[in-house]
Structure 1
Amino acid sequence: MFSGIHDVDWASLQHAYGSADEVPALLEAMRSPDAEERDRALGDFYSKVHHQGSVYSSTTASLPFLLELAGDPATPDREKVIALLVNIGTEAVGQGDTDYADADFIGSAAFARSHAEAFADFTADADCRVRQAAIPSLGLFLDDADRALAVLQDRSAMSFCLLERLLVTRTTATLTRRLPEIRPAATAWLAGLVRNPLGEPEFRLAALIHQAGCDPEAISDDLVPAAIALLREIADAAPQEQPWPEPPPVTPPADDVPPFVSAAFDDLERADRRYALTTDLLRTLHQSLGARVSQRTDLLTAQLSSPEPGVRLDAIRMTSDLLQAFRGDHSALIRLVAAQLAANNLEVAAEAATLLERHHPIAEPAREALAGRLASHGPDGWTTQRPHLRRLHQKAAMALARLGDARALPSLRVALDSDVDAWLAVEVAGALPQAADQLVPRLHDRLRDADLSEKWPSEANGILSALTRLGDPSALPIVTETLVAAARQQNWDVTRSALTALHALGPAATSALAEIRSVIAVEDTWTRAAAVTTLWAVSGDRDEVMPAALALLETFALREAADVLGRIGPPAAAALPRLRELLTADYDWNRVHAAAAVWDVAGEPEAPAVLDVLLHAWRNNSATGNHVAACLKRMGAAAAPAVPQIRAELARFERGGRFGSISNDETLVRDLTAVLTA
């Protein structure tokens, strides 16, 4: 085994973290009798030698030895080694055929293709796990399309397990996209599998979906109804719903791990789970349907109506993807998701609440269902030790709060008073200004106790953000104290958050002017920009603000400076020469902010130049849409030349605006509609 491995100059080869001299030891450890040692070696190989799908010189040099491991029946966990080989080959073939591929990708792709028959042999192995790991290689490494399809057809026999045969249908679509000459034969074969009454409905569904994947442009209106009919067959044959096992009680994260980091890892772990045999199939179907929103909505309606909790849970996630990506009236889907809040399966209910909280700008149809779910177990549900019930309650309370509904307040009080996941309550507290008298004192106490020296983002940022939105003047003293303390420790993140809170208070924060002025000359440019912006909002003294704003126009905080000058308006005319220079800046965002400021300062005479910059930047970078739309709205009738571009944007199915978020897109649509009206 591994003859010649030490003849390779591994130290001269590279992986993600430098020299690859430890690769021989990793390869040796993959055949260790100790399972933990094998898993550790495989994990290290993925993280170093195949880091995030990359291929390095050491990756290519490892392939002969990995293939030797895979071919030895005595190798433990052969399927994992083959899966690694197929993963490397997949990435290499995907990149190796591009114009910008480097030698390592090209070399690995060539190795995979030259050993395609070895992979084909693995698909006939006696071990079903080995066969499953190898089947995807048939769509990628064999260049003889007829031979590849013949092997796939052979591996579709009913004597093989269902999971293998599902992989066969997916691999057939992969093969067809790579070698289009096989499409007629492949699609005809898959169509025959769909019609075969002896096939399991899951297998026929897979054949149907991957037949469409062979030629997405030829998808017919019959696809979704046929898929829904097969889903019903699967549901009819499913056993009666059984309770899912309860996970262990909630345990707090380690002291050195911030709660939001722990929560993010929990979310990632949930996202990787497969809850039903149809999970990947239906994801593939939604991807093939793309912008066919009405057809995808019909499919999701059927998924959300399934008696199988795993199918409904997957459907909630796929609904989330649709809502995030496409505009439209999604109220029917929102109501179907809201109905899942009452599901017996608490994990399904918690997933529904998570969607509604994440997509709260369009969650209004779920308001009463959210309130009813909270009322069913009372505000103490926030602190329950049952993980799914806790997530369900917390996300439902957060969604309801984001809708501005005070019925969420009792749960937020429990969170803030008990300090159980209080950071989540802080996230949404600012959405309930009608409850400022109850929330501000609690936030005040938390802010006073916040550690401003933390290496992680401080809880103070979230608290200050909530106080900003609440806009209650009673918070002024503690916000001012926090500004001074954060600046003293040079915690510029918290300093800027405190300045933002004072900015929201406007002239009501006049008593903090000395503290605001104290940070105008600090070293951190972003903090200086926030201080200048806040000074204008609080004092309105243009004689004091103008020199500082003009100086910022020469820094990388020039966008913030342009915004301040725009708010000052015509009295900021001294800035016009520099602002006009910035209309030709290289960066879209700099040009957009400068153009908006030019309009706000100089008005109608500058309309042609301003529109030219705004519309060009918007075409070039759709994320600028919100800022562009806000300026067009201020321009009124002068924005008339933008009407064709506005109408084109409003006619799109896909969401736009900054970050592609639902909230920003909804704002973009409202602002552009207002521009058309004007």
Structure 2
Amino acid sequence: MVFGIVPRMMINEIDGVDWESMGHAYGPACDVPGWLKGMASADPGVRDEAFSDFYSAAHHQGDVYPCTAASLPFLFEMADSPATPDRGSVIELLLSIGQECLDMDPEVVYFTPDGTESRAHVDALALIGERAEVFVRWVMDPDEEVRRPAIECLGLFLADSARALEVLGSLLAGSGMVQRLLVVRAVATVALRDAAVHGAAAGWLDTLAGDTAQVPEVRLAALVHRVRCTPGELGDAVVPAAVGLIREIAPEETGGDDDAPCRTEAEPEVAAGTAPSPGVPPQIAAAFEDLERHGRVHAPTTSLLEAFHTVLDDRVLERTALLTEQLRSADPGVRYDAIRMARELIGQWRGDHSGLVVLVAECLRPEDPYTSAAAAEALGALVPVSEPARDALAAYVEAARAEHGPGVWAARGRLVRRAHQEAVRALACLGDLRALPCVLEALDEGIDAWRAVQVAGHLGEAAGDLTPRLSKLLAEVDFSDASQSMSANALVSALKELADPAAGPALASAVAAAVREEQWHTAASALKALASFGPGSAFALDVIRRLADAQDVTVRAAATAALWELEGDAADVVPRLVELLDTHADDEAAAVLGRIGPAAAPALPRLRKMLTAGYEWTRVYAAASLWDIGGDAEAPAVVETLLAAWAENDSTSNHVLACLSRMGPAARPALPRVREELTLLRRSGRFRDIPNDEDLLAACRSITTRI
């Protein structure tokens, strides 16, 4: 490791700290001094590793430990030294630590991973405040990478707010676009943290927003951040003004044109099917790629538009108007980043989003696979409300096959490949058989087949083509390799969704192999898939019956449920299920008892006791089972329990509504809450995702109509 540029005195002082007495996320902090020295190394690789290790351990997920606070004097010294090769990254680290400290409660004592009490966030913030004067000098630095984070630090940490505004105002003229936007945001930050200068800052922002000599991006920033300062004063004219300014943003200002592809750093042309590191499931490797990609920003106005959407919050119509203009922008970077914002709006708020869906679909342009991939991925995530994009997705898939050939699923060009695969997946999620040829190609050739497996279950009409292929892939899984468990579970899930009993033998073999290798979760999933075929899986009864006595509770519960679905012998199954009510599989046991109905009456006393459980999900499953077994006699307690659980945790709402729907007129006391749900704007339901919320709304409408 090269430390030649680190002052000798600084090295001595670092080594003089009792780091071993402190800790970080992964143990004693004795490795922190090495990371600090590495940040000042002349070797870029050493620096990158040092910053990464510090963020990962000493600033883990934003945590501030005593060792984090103890590092601050050395970080300030490094940032101030002209000899430090990457001063900007050091200041960004200071900014991150300071922001996290501001977000923490100064009156609260936190605990380190080893259980030690800590007020390091208070100590760290005090030290940053003592040294905040240096930010005034750094915002004047000739290095833009130093100035940018320093501007944010100045807005957050300089105690003299009036001076902070004066310095920030002086930076606007002659600055580059990104710096000017940072200055405007920092002025709003000062206004929000100090009421004494709020009026002056708001006036400055008002003047700037109306200054036609400024470029539209700066005026838009001033408008948005002025609203941030006083969100309660948001008038009807603000969004139209913002829309007008977005229209004024010329593509040449960011280097694009209306039909140009979105600019991004070149992505390596990695061959399709390139294997990840040994032992790493391809799904995990892809997830990390997605994280890196989703962190990119393609236009200087993106962060301020995100801030504007945050301020607008539940004003869905205004946000839709804003996003409509963003998605129609002449700037390809603005359009690209608007795709993510549209996905977030549609995913969080109810309403008619067909217009936005169509605009996202218009971003499917063969000449711009980078943007097309983002649009297709978003449309796949928005199913079923992405229905208006069905034909656009099919047209994009067909155009790719026409241009690149039927093997485009495995195209060498990463952007073309990803865009095509995402479009196929989105189309398949809509249940559209026009995706089938590409899905079959992926399954037959084995290139990125896991991506096709994830969506194959939506193509139920093609079960005859898909079931044999998926069964073959399941038979090839090595259950002794834990890294293949994700693929195995995805195959099992797809076969269950396709509902083709022809998959039974492959699933039975998977059960045996998973049990042999103690892959209990996979074994249970395969058992549930077999059970879903009912008596058609009777050939596997011997295996299932043995597993109904398995020591693993998850497997035992799944096997017991399968016994009921295959044989329907309540006398055999009910006692087993009652025993399972005292395990962590009580929810599944209660659900099966409910499906058995009145023949499960011996379970009623135990189910009634479960209505007093501390966990709301336990109460929901017990209440639903009580109704299905006991009927009208249990109705008052069932409705009361369901409504209480719904109020406590709205993620239970899909299960609650399913039971209320079965109850018919007996659920009438729940009608006020059901009607209220239909008036709410924010999405709800299990996982707060779109499919569950749409199902929830449909159930609410059905109940209010029938009862």
Structure 1 residue matching 2:604: 3-state secondary structure: helix
Q: Which residue of 2 aligns with 1:122?
A: 138
The question of 1:205 aligning with 2:220 is answered: yes
Q: Which residue of 2 aligns with 1:493?
A: 521
Q: Which residue of 1 aligns with 2:209?
A: 194
The question of 1:422 aligning with 2:456 is answered: no
CA distance in 2, matches of 1:622, 1:33: 54
Residue segments in structure 1 that go unaligned for 5+ positions in a row = none
Q: Which amino acid aligns with 2:150?
A: A
Aligned pair partner of 2:440 in 403, 406, 413: 413
Aligned pair partner of 1:73 in 82, 85, 92: 82
Q: Which amino acid aligns with 1:513?
A: L
What displacement does 1:93 show?
A: 2.1
What displacement does 1:126 show?
A: 3.1
CA distance in 1, matches of 2:499, 2:50: 55
Structure 2 residue matching 1:409: 3-state secondary structure: helix
Comparing 145-154 with 365-374, greater Cα deviation is found at 145-154
The question of 1:478 aligning with 2:478 is answered: no
The question of 1:254 aligning with 2:246 is answered: no
What displacement does 1:73 show?
A: 2.2
Q: Which amino acid aligns with 1:179?
A: D
Report if aligned partners of 1:173, 1:213 keep a CA contact under 8 Å in 2: yes
What displacement does 1:240 show?
A: 5.2
What displacement does 1:8 show?
A: 2.0
Structure 1 residue matching 2:482: 3-state secondary structure: coil
* Deviations, residues 621-646 of structure 1 (Å, cap 9, x unaligned): 01001110101101111111111111
What displacement does 1:82 show?
A: 1.4
Report if aligned partners of 2:619, 2:641 keep a CA contact under 8 Å in 1: yes
Report if aligned partners of 1:96, 1:109 keep a CA contact under 8 Å in 2: no
Q: Which amino acid aligns with 1:498?
A: A
* Deviations, residues 86-142 of structure 1 (Å, cap 9, x unaligned): 211111122143545541111111111122212233222233321212111123212
Comparing 515-524 with 137-146, greater Cα deviation is found at 137-146
Structure 2 residue matching 1:22: 3-state secondary structure: helix
Q: Which residue of 2 aligns with 1:673?
A: 701
Question: How do 1:10-159 residues align onto structure 2 when only pairs under 5 Å count?
Answer: 10-101=19-110, 102-156=118-172, 158-159=173-174
Q: TM-score, normalised by structure 1?
A: 0.97
Aligned pair partner of 1:164 in 179, 186, 192: 179
CA distance in 2, matches of 1:265, 1:459: 17
The question of 1:219 aligning with 2:247 is answered: no
Report if aligned partners of 2:651, 2:687 keep a CA contact under 8 Å in 1: yes
Aligned pair partner of 1:361 in 384, 404, 410: 384
CA distance in 2, matches of 1:184, 1:209: 16
Comparing 437-446 with 96-105, greater Cα deviation is found at 96-105
CA distance in 2, matches of 1:503, 1:626: 23
CA distance in 2, matches of 1:258, 1:6: 41
Report if aligned partners of 2:366, 2:400 keep a CA contact under 8 Å in 1: no
Structure 1 residue matching 2:250: 3-state secondary structure: helix
Question: How do 1:288-327 residues align onto structure 2 when only pairs under 5 Å count?
Answer: 288-327=311-350
What displacement does 1:667 show?
A: 0.7
Q: Which amino acid aligns with 1:409?
A: L
Comparing 220-229 with 170-179, greater Cα deviation is found at 170-179
CA distance in 2, matches of 1:667, 1:535: 29
Aligned pair partner of 2:691 in 652, 659, 663: 663
CA distance in 2, matches of 1:105, 1:118: 20
Structure 2 CA distance for partners of 1:45 and 1:629, relative to 1, 3 Å: same
Question: How do 1:217-616 residues align onto structure 2 when only pairs under 5 Å count?
Answer: 217-235=232-250, 237-238=252-253, 241=257, 242=260, 244=263, 247-251=267-271, 252-254=274-276, 256=278, 257-342=280-365, 344-378=367-401, 379-456=406-483, 457-616=485-644
Report if aligned partners of 1:139, 1:172 keep a CA contact under 8 Å in 2: yes
Structure 2 CA distance for partners of 1:586 and 1:52, relative to 1, 3 Å: same
CA distance in 2, matches of 1:488, 1:27: 49
What displacement does 1:514 show?
A: 1.3
CA distance in 1, matches of 2:594, 2:637: 16
Q: TM-score, normalised by structure 2?
A: 0.93
* Deviations, residues 48-85 of structure 1 (Å, cap 9, x unaligned): 21111111111111111211222222222112111111
CA distance in 1, matches of 2:175, 2:339: 32
Structure 2 CA distance for partners of 1:100 and 1:640, relative to 1, 3 Å: farther
What displacement does 1:247 show?
A: 3.3
Residue segments in structure 2 that go unaligned for 5+ positions in a row = 1-8, 111-117
What displacement does 1:15 show?
A: 1.5
Q: Which amino acid aligns with 1:668?
A: L
Q: Which residue of 1 aligns with 2:114?
A: none
| Count of aligned pairs between the two proteins | 677
Report if aligned partners of 2:281, 2:486 keep a CA contact under 8 Å in 1: no
Comparing 97-106 with 305-314, greater Cα deviation is found at 97-106
Structure 2 CA distance for partners of 1:542 and 1:226, relative to 1, 3 Å: same
Report if aligned partners of 1:190, 1:211 keep a CA contact under 8 Å in 2: yes
Aligned pair partner of 2:660 in 626, 632, 644: 632
Q: Which amino acid aligns with 1:442?
A: R
What displacement does 1:146 show?
A: 2.0
Report if aligned partners of 1:120, 1:137 keep a CA contact under 8 Å in 2: no
Report if aligned partners of 2:251, 2:332 keep a CA contact under 8 Å in 1: no
* Deviations, residues 269-289 of structure 1 (Å, cap 9, x unaligned): 111111111121211111111
CA distance in 2, matches of 1:125, 1:392: 42
Structure 2 CA distance for partners of 1:401 and 1:5, relative to 1, 3 Å: closer
CA distance in 1, matches of 2:105, 2:165: 23
Structure 2 CA distance for partners of 1:97 and 1:173, relative to 1, 3 Å: farther
* Deviations, residues 596-636 of structure 1 (Å, cap 9, x unaligned): 11111111122111111111111110100111010110111
Report if aligned partners of 2:154, 2:164 keep a CA contact under 8 Å in 1: yes
* Deviations, residues 220-255 of structure 1 (Å, cap 9, x unaligned): 221221111111111365455355576332331335
Q: Which amino acid aligns with 1:261?
A: I
Report if aligned partners of 1:253, 1:262 keep a CA contact under 8 Å in 2: no
Identity within the alignment, %: 47
Report if aligned partners of 2:140, 2:147 keep a CA contact under 8 Å in 1: yes
What displacement does 1:194 show?
A: 0.9
